[in-house]
Amino acid sequence: MDWKRGLREFILLTLGTALVAVGVYFFKFPNHISTGGVTGLAVVLSAAFPAVSSSTFASVINLAFLTLGFLFLNKGFGLRTVYCSVLFSALLSGLEWLCPLAAPLTDEVLMELFFAVIFPALGSAVLFNLDGSTGGTDILAMILKKYTSLDIGMALLCVDVLIVLSTFLFLDLKTGLLSVLGLLLKTVLVDNVIESLNRKKSFIAVTSHPEEVRGYILNTLHRSATLWRAEGAYSHEGRWVVLTALSRHQAVALRRYLRSTEPEAFMLILNSSEIFGKGFLRVS
C-alpha cells in the first residue's frame, strides 16, 4: 500500500467514525432512540441506570468487545476495527465533556430520528467500504463465526430486535415506536449507501466496428475492455461483443459515442456495486 492510499484510507476511516459518533451523541442519545447494537444497548442501560450516561455505557461495552476480540481472535483481527473502535469511544467521551447535553437539540423528534439514522448509516457505509467498523457487535459476529455455525446475520438481527423491544420496558411507548422505525430505516439505509458508494456500470456493446470502440475506451476513457467474436442469432452476421466496466459519467460518454457513430449497435448497461480488479475494488 503506498502512503497516499494509506493516508486517504486513514482520513476516510476517521471521517466515517466521526459521522457515526456525531449522529449517535447529538441525535440518538438525547432522544433515547435505540436501533440495536452497542449504542442501542447503551441507551437501554442508561434508562435502567440513570446515574451512568449512554456515552459511558457505549464506551465501556465497546472496549469490552474489543478486549474479547483480542482474547478470542487473532491479535491482528482488524487494525482498522481496533482504530475505529478506540476512536469512537474517545469521540463519545470527548463530546460528552465538550458539549454536555441535558435535552435534545430541538423539539422535532422525527427530524432528529432521521439524523440519528442517517449520520451513523453514512459513517458505517464508509467504514464497511474500507473493511473497517466501530467494533461492538461486529466483533461479536467475528467471534460467533469462528466458534459456532450460527447464521451470524440472523443472530445479530435478533439481538438488535430484542434491544429495540426492550425500549418499550424501560422507556415510553413513543420512544419504543421511534426505535422500531429507526431500526427499519437503518436496515435499509446502510446497504443502500454502501451500494451507492461502490456503484459502477457494467457496459456490454454488440458492435460491427470493434476497433473504433476499443480505441475510444482505451484512448478517451482510459479504461480497458474485453472483446470476443459473436454471431447474430437471427441474421447470422458476424459481430463483436465488447465488455467493459466504467464509472457513471464514462458509461454516459460511451453511450453517446456509440449512438452517434453506430446507432444500430446494441448496448446493455448494468448497475454493479462490486467490481474487483485494477482501477476498482481490491481483493485485499
Tell me, what's the pLDDT at 283? 47
Tell me, what's the pLDDT at 19? 92
Long-range pairs for 78-83: beta carbons < 8 A, 24 or more residues apart: 78/131, 78/132, 78/133, 78/142, 80/13, 80/127, 80/130, 80/131, 80/132, 80/133, 81/132, 81/133, 81/134, 81/135, 81/138, 81/139, 82/135, 83/13, 83/132
- Asked if 82 contacts 131 with a C-beta cutoff of 8 angstroms, the reply is no
| Three-state DSSP state, 207 | strand
- Asked if 28 contacts 53 with a C-beta cutoff of 8 angstroms, the reply is no
The CA distance from 232 to 236, in Å, is: 5
CATH of 199-272, one of 3.50.50.60, 2.30.110.10, 3.40.50.261, 3.30.70.120: 3.30.70.120
Tell me, what's the pLDDT at 142? 72
CA 201, chain centre distance (Å):
19
pTM (whole model) above 0.85: no
Tell me, what's the pLDDT at 281? 53
The CA distance from 120 to 42, in Å, is: 15
Of 273, 265, 224, 226, nearest to 248 by C-alpha is 273
- Please give the grid coordinates belonging to residue 255: 453511450
Q: pLDDT tens digits for the chain (284 residues)? A: 577 777 888 899 999 999 999 999 999 999 998 888 888 889 999 988 988 888 899 989 988 888 888 777 766 557 788 888 889 989 999 999 998 888 888 888 889 998 988 898 888 878 877 777 787 777 777 777 777 776 666 777 778 888 889 999 888 898 889 999 988 888 777 666 666 666 678 889 999 888 999 999 999 888 888 899 988 888 888 888 999 888 778 888 888 899 888 888 888 888 776 666 665 555 44
Q: Give me the phi and psi of 161, to 5 degrees please.
A: -65, -40
Tell me, what's the pLDDT at 198? 62
Q: Where are the domains of the chain?
A: 3-197, 199-272
Looking at residue 230, what DSSP letter applies? E
* β partners of residue 276: 281
- Asked if 137 contacts 61 with a C-beta cutoff of 8 angstroms, the reply is no
The CA distance from 222 to 215, in Å, is: 9
Give the helix/strand (H/E) hosting 34: none
Tell me, what's the pLDDT at 284? 47
Give the helix/strand (H/E) hosting 193: helix 173-198
Tell me, what's the pLDDT at 94? 92
| Three-state DSSP state, 204 | strand
- Asked if 123 contacts 17 with a C-beta cutoff of 8 angstroms, the reply is yes
